[in-house]
Structure 1
Amino acid sequence: MSALKIEADPAEVGLDAERLGRIDRHFARYVDEGKLAGWSVAVARRGRVAHLAHHGLRDIEAALPVEDDTIWRIYSMTKPVTSVAALMLWEEGALELTDPVAKYIPAFADTRVYRSGSAVNPGTVAAVEPMRVWHLLTHTSGLTYGFHHAHSVDEMYRGKGHEFGPPRGQDLATACDTWAGLPLLFQPGTEWNYGVSTDVLGRVVEVASGMSLAEFFAARILGPLGMTDTGFHVTDTDRLATLYGPGLRRNRALGDAITEEPTYLSGGGGLASTLHDYHRFAQMLARGGELDGVRLLGPRTLAYATRNHLPAGADLETFGRPLFSESVFAGVGFGLGFSVAVDPVPGRQLHGQGEYGWGGLASTTFHVDPVEELTVVFMTQLVPSSTYPIRSQLRVLVSSAVTA
């Protein structure tokens, strides 16, 4: 287990220490008011940690404090890790972004697209073009989530036992075959919708690499970066933060899953991690794909992945379906596995130009601002992440501390 430490006085890297202190005071009130049990945050600039804080409890019932080595369920912050894995394989020639998904998962060869009707008797049409790896990375595949409760296709997912995850005992390959047998929400490439795209991408990584997703992560990403406390299964449960819902009610139904050996390896939401570990992942991204002599991606690949890939430079507000996701929609586009800030004005957000990142279901979040050379990682355990405006508030608190 490893812990972060302060590496620079804020003034040395153009940050205002008093203003950074606002982060702690603001989110301490969240704990005092019974909104969050506890949290951790790390802010780094120019590759050096300038602000680090922990507050509150990782387990209210046991009165255990948040500590340096607390383990957090990061849910959809798994998605950038899976996306990096796919991009690594692309660099190596093991896959092409334009490859049909059916090349790796044959069940996707004959996908149908929803046209009309109920979940019981839907009308469908043939896909105009195949679903491709690029569609998975950009969430333009037509896949969805059962928990959206917004469309007949969502209902079909739930009918197959897929809401926040697959039926108990089902593995990733079987889940992908199930989704392939259901209609797509729309023709691939024509809209953006938050769904199981990155889970399917995880299966593509498995087939293309000849390794399980857990094996690939451990050997190619987590091990090389020293992310020794990150994985699909937590055995050191004493360090694991408790998962809470609104009103700080313990959520055992979701929370206990990470303590069991997984049958299903979710590239879209299966990892747990620590502040230290995810900070190292963010630093690798901020440094153009390399950290401490370990290079996962070339800088040109990462620059390409963190551009807005939505057609004609559209944002999620105009190209996406108005559903829950881990990002605001207005002024935010999407790259190859990351949200990408296009214009801070429409969403009334203090985004840096080209800032990219993502968040998780339990209100965790991270972002990288390549212009200001900033990385921010925030960990807590509250579902759903839409409960409070934590991310927009954190962004303002950090951005307003940049003075030079």
Structure 2
Amino acid sequence: MTASHLDKVIDGAIARQRIVGTVVLAARDGEIVYRRAAGSADREQGIALREDALFRLASITKPLVATAALKLADEETIDLSAPVTEWLPDFRPRLPDGTAPAITLQHLLTHTAGLSYGFLEAPDGPYRRAGVSDGLDQPGLSLAENLARIASCPLAYAPGTGWRYSVATDVLGAVLQEATGMPLPAIVQREVTGPLRMRDTAFHVVDADRLAVPYRDARPAPPTRMASEEEVPFMEGVARFTPGRIFDAAAYPSGGSGMAGTADDVMRFLLSLRTSNRAILRAAEVDRTGTGAMTQGPGWGFGYLGAVLGHPKEAHSPQSAGTLQWGGAYGHYWFVDPLADLVVVQLTNTTFEGMAGAFPRDVRNAAYKDFT
């Protein structure tokens, strides 16, 4: 198959300096039909990006941790309907009226627990005042301390009555550790990355020479190299990045954003979710119905592993109903269309263009033109 549209999108984004570098993979009917690395891993040093480049995965970590949780539920190690306090007795965030409603693991998986992210709030919001880490900053902060800070903040709504993207997967990671007596990195390796032979994906960097340098959007272009501490405006707030966190052994393993890995490994994981290849999860566990909340605009809900497309026409998307997709704050995007049997992984080293700019939308549209 040719991929003239994808090549044009990638070449145009680099030429216009919307992104610094990218690795894009596409699979149709379970087979890789397109792979390309383009742009720079380190622009200032003149180092080209390779297909086996490592990226800070940010929220691509979430579906891996969620999958580990679903496997443990299948093995009856945990019960998704049970309250978080069964494993974390001191984790009791309250509503503004002072009550502490039960938060279940199901709420954590679907981001319906009433928790939040600091970057979704104003600079003086409760998570910022409490010093909550979004899992991208504050190396050396312990998980116990971050959980205490989260629990000190008021819930945005009663669990199960709304949807808000949040630190829920970090809390879920703490539950998995308590339930198994194992560190989260070991759990994810045992349940997901090990069985799928995702050898380059972990809560640490397996080969620092292959790690892409992170950049941030700048207006006017080009993107600028991230500093050791970086604040990037996003939505109502500011996202805080400490790129060196991935090298800090004392940093808690963030279930929401703590891993690094390659595009090939992410593709290997996503292909394992195909209906005809349940290498990890049973078919019933891949929730393609989602919540009723509008998570990525009209037509989109949220399941266990990411956003779920319920109404393609409302979303103005070429994707089929039941498509799963999500991204990562360091500049990533992926989707799995089960009806077209099309899977795309697009990793960049450019925040936020690679996740929430025009580039992921253009890659999506080009993939359908080239391969369907």
Q: TM-score, normalised by structure 1?
A: 0.83
Instruction: Give the conservation status (yes or no) of the 8 Å contact 2:83–2:105.
Output: yes
2:251 maps to 263
Instruction: Give the conservation status (yes or no) of the 8 Å contact 1:101–1:130.
Output: yes
Q: How does 1:151-300 map to 2 (within 5 A)?
A: 155-165=125-135, 167-246=138-217, 247-252=222-227, 253=229, 254-287=242-275, 290=278, 295-300=279-284
SS in 1 for 2:313: coil
Residue identity matched to 1:297? L
Instruction: Give the conservation status (yes or no) of the 8 Å contact 1:233–1:262.
Output: no
**Alpha-carbon shift at residue 151 of structure 1 (Å):** 8.6
SS in 1 for 2:190: helix
1:399 paired to 2:368: yes
**Alpha-carbon shift at residue 401 of structure 1 (Å):** 2.6
Instruction: Give the conservation status (yes or no) of the 8 Å contact 2:38–2:49.
Output: yes
- Structure 2 vs 1, CA of residues 352 and 243 (structure 1 numbering), >3 Å: closer, same or farther? same
Aligned residues: 353
Unaligned runs of 5+ in 2: 230-241
SS in 1 for 2:114: coil
1:141 paired to 2:113: yes
- Structure 2 vs 1, CA of residues 171 and 288 (structure 1 numbering), >3 Å: closer, same or farther? farther
Instruction: Give the conservation status (yes or no) of the 8 Å contact 2:173–2:255.
Output: yes
Residue identity matched to 1:160? A
- Structure 2 vs 1, CA of residues 173 and 337 (structure 1 numbering), >3 Å: closer, same or farther? farther
Q: How does 1:1-400 map to 2 (within 5 A)?
A: 10=1, 17=2, 20-108=3-91, 110-114=92-96, 124-127=97-100, 129-150=101-122, 155-165=125-135, 167-246=138-217, 247-252=222-227, 253=229, 254-287=242-275, 290=278, 295-302=279-286, 305-308=287-290, 310=291, 314-316=292-294, 328-385=296-353, 388-400=357-369
Q: Distance in 2 between matches of 1:268 and 1:367?
A: 18
Deviations along 1:124-146, one digit per CA (max 9) or x if unpaired, are 3314x411111101111010011
**Alpha-carbon shift at residue 54 of structure 1 (Å):** 1.2
Give RMSD over aligned pairs: 1.9
Instruction: Give the conservation status (yes or no) of the 8 Å contact 1:283–1:375.
Output: yes
Q: What stretches of structure 1 move > 3 A for 4+ residues in a row?
A: 163-168, 287-290
User: Larger helix proportion, structure 1 or 2?
Assistant: 1
**Alpha-carbon shift at residue 157 of structure 1 (Å):** 1.4
SS in 2 for 1:83: helix
Larger radius of gyration: 1
Residue identity matched to 2:121? H
Instruction: Give the conservation status (yes or no) of the 8 Å contact 1:344–1:350.
Output: yes
Instruction: Give the conservation status (yes or no) of the 8 Å contact 1:72–1:274.
Output: yes
Q: Distance in 2 between matches of 1:268 and 1:62?
A: 31
